[in-house]
Chain A
Amino acid sequence: MKRLVILGAGTAGTMMANHLHHKLNRKEWTIDVVDERTEHHYQPGYLFLPFDIYKPEDIIKSIKDFIPSDVNLITKKIDRIVAADNYIQMAGGDQLHYDLLIIATGAKIAPEETEGMNGAEWQHSVFDFYTFEGALALRNKLRDWQGGNLVIHITEMPIKCPVAPLEFAFLADSYFQHKKMRDKVNITYVTPLSGAFTKPKSTAALEHLLEEKNISIESDFAISEVDNENKTIVDYGGKVIPFDLLVTVPTNKGDELIARSGLGDDLNYVPTNKETLQSKDHANIFVIGDATNVPASKAGSVAHFEADILTENILHFIKSESLSATFDGHANCFIETGNSKALLIDFNYTHEPVDGMFPFAGVGPLQLLKESKMNHWGKLAFRWIYWNVLLKGTPIPFVSANMSTAGKHFN
């Protein structure tokens, strides 16, 4: 028997287990999934937790409920990958040999990368919402916060779900309006980018929305430290921004396991061929989702599209064929804009988000790059789709792995 090992049972790892347990010849292959955790979190839900829109039980389920029964789920800590000898060294001393390895160990926040970030004010007036604990602590803080300067801040790119901090700003505007205290809150959006987003057309649309919602933007801000005593953030150029409540997205990094294994770049992301998803250094290692260094969004929708491509390429690799399936960087994201509306963007490595209709040209029903209630219902429906369709590796009807240009308005 040959062994395929998947490291990580998050969105990407779970989808790969569900794809491959159908597709591999199970008389020849066993499949193992390794993850030390027992809970699967719907990470997009962290955005809604601080505003009391979702409750913790809406976003947490058990990992084992989503792993097929003919796949071995190993709930243990991994020490390192020994790529030269094709085995996983487990923390307890066991070794797990593999013929094929899929790394799906994701990315997480690293507040310790910025001076003072996880200092005295951490979870008192400095919060993250990229962890369950952070989002929950922030919810408790917001419930009886009296107002002041709310600063929403991105430390450095790349981050998971690059639109999430913008959504946080929009939802905060709406939340304080409903609490009849918007006039007591100044909202500032602070980014290391030159504008609200990385691509010109969506930046223009999103900056217009920020202005409309009276949210000020500070761009090109490269943070050097959080000053806990004076409650300010300071950038290398000397700019100082005061806060009463700082909601920051700390530096994101790949798992420490990647560093221990000597397989990562300076942010612990694994150098990966952006089209085939094969590791650049080891032919029998493939990488998917947030763990890669490919220049696509770090988002569940990207992992979903990658999973289709990677499944094909794993099958090619086993048959010693060329890896002919190529990923185009496709991402598809709903952007909550508050007051029960949302935007939708759809883009890839080469095509920036533009306006148009989705998924059917001229018909929709979803509109690209425009606020609508329908898009908001799409975003909320997505939680059901995530648990019931996406994780199981079932294709989402009418949405292909590689991006379609139909119905879009390119200039």
Chain B
Amino acid sequence: MEKIIAQKTVQVNEEGYLTNFAEWNKEIGEEIAKENNIVLSPKHWEVINYVQNEFKNEVPLTIRKIGKSGVVDIKEFYALFPVGPLKTATKIAGIPKPAGCI
């Protein structure tokens, strides 16, 4: 479905995740963060850049992986994105919600 975020029309799924990363920009990230009651600090952006890079390299994301990324440890990750950190961070980053493989 279509949604207008930060004055741009983008494709999202029923949970509000962008379905085409090419449509993402920083303003969209900030807008989605605001919807989740988060104001993005430079540390947030470091995490967002990290998850976007992992996505581009087709590496599946897990909370464990974030904890070992060298960007943040798990406690800091929860402090930055308090409710469901991986789901929130990926949503802001414009990449798919991690599947939690089966």
Q: Which residues on A are within 8 Å of B, measured CB to CB? A: 156-158, 162, 192-194, 197-199, 220, 222, 224, 236-237, 266-267, 295-297, 331
Q: Are B102 and A199 in contact, CB atoms less than 8 angstroms apart?
A: yes
Contact of B63 among A199, A222, A266, A331 (CB under 8 A): A222
Pick from A237, A266, A267, A295: contact of B102, CB under 8 Å: A295
Segment of B22-30, B33-41, B43-51, B78-86 engaged in the interface with chain A: B78-86
Given A156-B62, A236-B74, A236-B75, CB of A297 within 8 Å of CB of B102? yes
Q: State whether A162 and B102 are in contact (beta carbons under 8 Å apart), knowing that A156-B64, A222-B63, A266-B64 are contacts in the complex.
A: yes
Q: How far, in whole Å, are A296 and B74 apart by their CA atoms in the complex?
A: 26
Q: How far does the alpha carbon of A197 sit from the alpha carbon of B102 in the complex, in Å?
A: 8
Q: Does B70 reach chain A (CB closer than 8 Å)? A: no
The complex places the Cα of A158 from the Cα of B60 at a distance, in Å, of 11
A224 touches B74 (CB 8 A): yes
CB-CB nearest in chain A for B59: A265
A157 in complex: contacting residue of B78, B82, B85, B101, CB < 8 Å:
B101
Taking a contact as CB atoms under 8 Å apart, the answer to whether A266 and B68 are in contact is yes
Asked whether B102 lies within 8 Å of A194 as measured between CB atoms, the reply is: no
Separation in Å of the A267 CB from the closest CB of chain B? 8
- Whether the Cβ atoms of B84 and A192 lie closer than 8 Å is no
Residues of B within 8 A of A224 (CB): 74-75
Q: Are A192 and B100 in contact (CB under 8 A)?
A: yes
Contacts of A237 in B (CB 8 A): 78, 82-83
Task: Please give the distance in Å from A162's CB to the nearest CB on chain B.
Answer: 6
B-side residues, CB < 8 A to A, are 60, 62-65, 68, 74-75, 77-78, 82-85, 87, 99-102
Given the complex of chains A and B, what is the CA–CA distance between A296 and B99 in angstroms? 12
Smallest CB-CB A-B distances: 4 pairs? A236-B78, A198-B102, A295-B101, A157-B100
User: Given known contacts A156-B63, A236-B78, A266-B68, is B102 in contact with A220 (CB within 8 Å)?
Assistant: no
Tell me the interface secondary structure of chain A in the complex: loop
A-B pairs with CB below 8 Å: how many? 48
Contacts A156-B64, A266-B64, A266-B65 given; does A222 touch B100 at CB 8 Å: no
Contact B87–A194 (Cβ < 8 Å): yes
Least CB distance, B99 to chain A, in whole angstroms: 7
Minimum CB–CB distance from B29 to chain A (whole Å) comes to 22
Instruction: Give the complex CA separation of A125 and B8 in angstroms.
Output: 54
Residue of B nearest to A349 (CB): B102
A198 near B87: Cβ-Cβ < 8 Å: no
Residues on the B chain within 8 Å of A266, using CB:
64-65, 68
Contact yes or no, A198 B101, CB < 8 A: yes
Q: Could you name 6 residue pairs across A and B whose Cβ atoms are closer than 8 Å?
A: A194-B87, A198-B102, A236-B75, A236-B77, A236-B85, A266-B68
Contact B60–A295 (Cβ < 8 Å): yes
* Alpha-carbon distance between A266 and B62 when the two chains are bound, in angstroms: 11
- Shortest distance in angstroms between A10's beta carbon and chain B's nearest beta carbon? 20
B residues near A162, Cβ cutoff 8 Å: 102
Q: State A199–B102 Cα separation when bound (angstroms).
A: 8
Given the complex, which residues of B lie within 8 Å of A193, measured CB to CB? Answer: 100
Min C-beta distance of B60 to chain A, whole Å: 7
Residues of B within 8 A of A331 (CB): 102
Enumerate chain B residues within 8 angstroms of A194, measured Cβ to Cβ.
Answer: 84, 87, 100
Asked whether A198 and B99 contact (CB < 8 A) given A222-B63, A236-B75, A266-B65, the answer is yes
Cα separation A267 to B68 with both chains bound (whole Å): 12
User: B74: which A residues are within 8 A, CB to CB?
Assistant: 222, 224, 236
Q: B15's closest neighbor in chain A, by CB?
A: A194
A193 to B77, CA, bound (A): 17
CA distance A32 to B58 in the complex (A): 35
A90 to B102, CA, bound (A): 34
Distance in angstroms between the alpha carbons of A68 and B79 in the assembled complex: 56
Once the chains are docked, how many angstroms separate the CA of A192 from the CA of B99?
12
Other than A237-B82, A296-B102, give 9 A-B pairs with Cβ distance below 8 A: A157-B102, A220-B84, A220-B87, A222-B63, A236-B74, A236-B75, A236-B85, A295-B99, A331-B102
Minimum CB–CB distance from A83 to chain B (whole Å) comes to 22
Q: Are B101 and A158 closer than 8 Å at their CB atoms?
A: yes
Q: How far is the CA of A297 from the CA of B99 in the complex (A)?
A: 13
- A162 and B102 alpha carbons, distance in the complex (Å): 7
Residue with the greatest number of chain B CB neighbours at <10 A, chosen from A192, A197, A236? A236
Residues of B within 8 Å of A158, CB to CB, are 101-102
With A and B bound together, what is the CA distance between A353 and B65 in angstroms?
28
Chain A residues whose CB sits within 8 angstroms of the CB of B63 once the complex forms: 156, 192, 222, 236
Residues of B within 8 A of A192 (CB): 63, 100
Taken together as a complex, chains A and B put the C-alpha atoms of A162 and B87 apart, in Å, by 21
A156 to B64, CA, bound (A): 9
Report A235 CB to chain B, min CB distance, Å. Answer: 9
